[in-house]
Structure 1
């Protein structure tokens, strides 16, 4: 089994990681830890984000004995679209994402990446508050 755990700057990652570890251990899954960011970031910022992801991999997944690889998706499209494309490319069996409450106006103006992922993904999506 393959699980994609996706997060961005707005996601409370601790709950997402906790659920991801639980699911991966239960199913003996391989984990893809994915973070999205915009293409206008400086090289130093991208390096820092990659370093943070590797730290999470070491501190959480390696410590638990879970096979994991990290990927920083530098998007040219919306984050939800990037995640759905990547999940399909890697043929993952489940996507785990964090969600947060947003006003109706916020959803209308900014859209909802979680909603896009839930509706467009080829596999089940587990949302975590």
Structure 2
């Protein structure tokens, strides 16, 4: 089985990455890190630069974990992430979510909401301790 992490180069993404790495190590599973983009924006802050990917590999190596990192350019990020979980028969999908106001809790972000509603595997939603990263 495989732990899949939907990763973005921000505090939420790193929180999901660390938790996913711990889950993979605890259960002796592979770790697959997915950072996808639609490629439609000139600048996509959620799509990692090469230096961000190097930082991720260094962080995981310091934790003693090897991982595959994929950066697909896709039509729909949510659908692509869910397709990966099915492709690898994921045991869990780990995503980062932001802290929400009471109104924000009522109207969850579309990506997280679609993942929670449509995933065929368990989803672990992680909040970052510090949203300044």
TM-score by length of 1: 0.77
Tell me by how many angstroms 1:4 deviates.
0.4
Q: What does 1:27-106 correspond to in 2, within 5 Å?
A: 27-40=27-40, 49-57=49-57, 59-77=58-76, 79-100=77-98, 101=100, 103=103
For these two proteins, the number of residue pairs brought into alignment is 123
Tell me by how many angstroms 1:84 deviates.
0.4
**Larger strand proportion of the pair:** 1
TM-score by length of 2: 0.75
Which residue of structure 1 lines up, in the alignment, with residue 131 of structure 2?
none
SS for the counterpart of 1:93 is strand
Q: What does 1:108-123 correspond to in 2, within 5 Å?
A: 112-123=110-121
Q: Which runs of 4+ in 1 moved over 4 A?
A: none
Q: Which runs of 5+ in 2 are unaligned?
A: 128-133
Give distance in 2, aligned partners of 1:48 and 1:97. Answer: 16
Contact 2:12–2:126 under 8 Å retained in 1 = no
